[in-house]
């Protein structure tokens, strides 16, 4: 999809040079696209770029994959194969072409309904970062959404939540929840129909399926028969918050456009799942959001696990524009309700009378610093040279380093008054 416009700044210079780069891949090794904003591109280079894009398209369209899936499920179990190297469901006529590849045999219906466990996770932190929700977190999220009365979930980059919703809908009668998965991983088109999955880039709000996919999403957001919609998103943690926020606002605007009355002064309900240390950045773009204490954990991430102590705990939280007291967290996992803050907090998060808030971000009990006028981590101490709380063993020289743009102290490059 479309590239993003960045700026390359130099020490001491107010103005940087602007350039276009890939919206999804932050690493040049994954996508080497680079173009200065003021650069004139030759016809030859444009043609080469088009040719490169054509040669890197998936082997089948979404429609073809849907047809292939229908044929695949009609096969007897002994003829159901999945190529692990190509990450593709194979029909018998294609076996010979993949004869020297590793493949799985006897693919069951249960495996087809859990594609996130069949496919290899793409674990590039900056592009895909398919760290998949652990069953505990997934079950909690789905039960919470049902309890809150949501019957449609726009699952942006949350394939495991999507498949759990699909699975529960086919098993249970009564409460019916629907999900539409928006994801950059086109491999999921092998398992989901066009009204269940859209190939989507959350960094530039690009629907690869064009207007038809855009319309699929718009129709899904239309609330009929009182079926409330919520967006749940779990972006790569190495992604730019500014780019993500821009796309999410566009999805919210699509929801607002679906109904002329009732949405005027409201935001589309949303769960943004992200590490707690991005809180200030998220609140810059969504001031109505607040951070919940619930620790989201992942199956295939070595660090982001529930139940560990200190810094080994998962730093991933839920940011939401819903009223905090509505988000009921499980008491059996150590969460309690703070009557002053009117929200559920972790057991170690003690209410600070001076801040008048439960201030801990990481589950440990934080301490109040009178000089900083705020609560800080228990391992931090006030440094008079730096005039702030920091780790006991730190280098004070950093306090003399000024802004990257103007060289003056007291602010970072992003807040430099020299930048327009």
Place of tokens 């173009």: 35
Q: Strand 178-183 vs strand 103-105: parallel, antiparallel, or unpaired?
A: unpaired
Neighbours of 405 (CB within 10 A): 23
The DSSP letter of residue 35 is: E
The residue among 216, 145, 221 whose CA lies nearest residue 176 is 145
pLDDT of residue 314: 83
Helix axes 135-147, 159-171, angle to 10 degrees: 60
Contacts for 63 with CB less than 8 Å, ≥ 6 apart: 194
388: which 2 tokens?
A: 């702030």
The DSSP letter of residue 59 is: S
- Annotated domain spans of the chain: 4-56, 62-107, 135-347
- Direct distance between the N- and C-terminal alpha carbons of the chain, in angstroms, rounded to an integer: 28
The DSSP letter of residue 39 is: P
The rounded distance, in Å, linking the Cα atoms of 109 and 132 is: 21
Check: CB of residue 131 under 8 Å from CB of residue 121.
yes
Check: CB of residue 60 under 8 Å from CB of residue 88.
no
Place of tokens 């994959």: 65
Contacts for 181 with CB less than 8 Å, ≥ 6 apart: 155, 158, 159, 162, 188, 192, 196, 197, 198
pLDDT of residue 10: 73
pLDDT of residue 127: 47
107: which 2 tokens?
A: 């693919």
pLDDT digits (tens, 9 = 90+) for 35-87: 999 989 999 999 999 998 888 889 899 999 999 999 999 999 999 999 999 99
Q: Which residues of the chain have pLDDT under 50?
A: 125-127, 308-311, 399-400, 420
Note the pTM of the prediction, 2 decimals.
0.87
The rounded distance, in Å, linking the Cα atoms of 317 and 320 is: 10
Place of tokens 């309700």: 337
CATH of range 62-107; options 1.10.4190, 3.40.720, 3.30.160, 1.10.760: 3.30.160
May I ask the CATH class of domain 135-347? alpha beta
């Amino acid at each position: 999809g479309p590239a993003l416009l960045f700026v390359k700044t130099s020490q001491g210079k107010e103005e940087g040079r602007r350039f276009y780069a890939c919206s999804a891949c932050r690493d040049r090794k994954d996508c080497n696209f680079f173009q200065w904003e003021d650069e004139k591109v030759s016809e030859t280079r444009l043609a080469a770029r088009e040719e490169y894009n054509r040669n890197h398209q998936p082997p089948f369209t979404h429609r073809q994959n849907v047809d292939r899936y229908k044929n695949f499920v009609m096969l007897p179990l002994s003829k159901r194969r999945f190529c692990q190297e190509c990450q593709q469901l194979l029909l018998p006529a294609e076996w010979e072409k993949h004869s020297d590849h590793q493949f799985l045999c006897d693919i069951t219906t249960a495996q087809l309904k859990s594609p996130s466990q069949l496919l290899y996770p793409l674990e590039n932190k900056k592009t895909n970062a398919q760290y998949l929700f652990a069953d505990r977190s997934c079950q909690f999220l789905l039960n919470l959404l049902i309890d809150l009365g949501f019957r449609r979930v726009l699952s942006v980059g949350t394939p495991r939540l999507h498949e759990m919703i699909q699975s529960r809908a086919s098993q249970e009668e009564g409460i019916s929840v629907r999900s539409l998965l928006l994801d950059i991983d086109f491999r999921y088109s092998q398992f989901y129909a066009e009204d269940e999955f859209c190939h989507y880039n959350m960094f530039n709000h690009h629907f690869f399926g064009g207007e038809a996919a855009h319309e699929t999403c718009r129709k899904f957001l239309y609330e009929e028969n009182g079926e409330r919609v919520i967006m749940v998103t779990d972006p790569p943690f190495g992604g730019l918050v500014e780019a993500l926020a821009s796309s999410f606002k566009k999805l919210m605007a699509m929801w607002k456009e679906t109904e002329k009355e009732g949405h005027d002064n409201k935001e589309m309900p949303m769960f943004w799942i992200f590490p707690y240390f991005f809180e200030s950045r998220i609140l810059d773009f969504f001031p109505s959001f607040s951070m919940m204490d619930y620790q989201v954990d992942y199956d295939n991430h070595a660090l982001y696990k529930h139940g560990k102590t200190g810094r080994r705990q998962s730093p991933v939280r839920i940011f939401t524009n819903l009223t905090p007291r509505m988000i009921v967290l499980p008491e059996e996992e150590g969460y309690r309700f703070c009557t002053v803050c009117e929200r559920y907090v972790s057991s170690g998060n003690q209410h600070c009378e001076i801040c008048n808030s439960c201030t801990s971000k990481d589950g440990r009990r934080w301490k109040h610093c009178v000089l900083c006028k705020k609560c800080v981590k228990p391992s931090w101490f006030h440094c008079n040279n730096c005039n702030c709380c920091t780790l006991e063993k730190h280098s004070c020289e950093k306090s003399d380093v000024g802004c990257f743009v103007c060289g003056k102290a007291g602010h970072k490059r992003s807040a430099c008054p020299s930048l327009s």
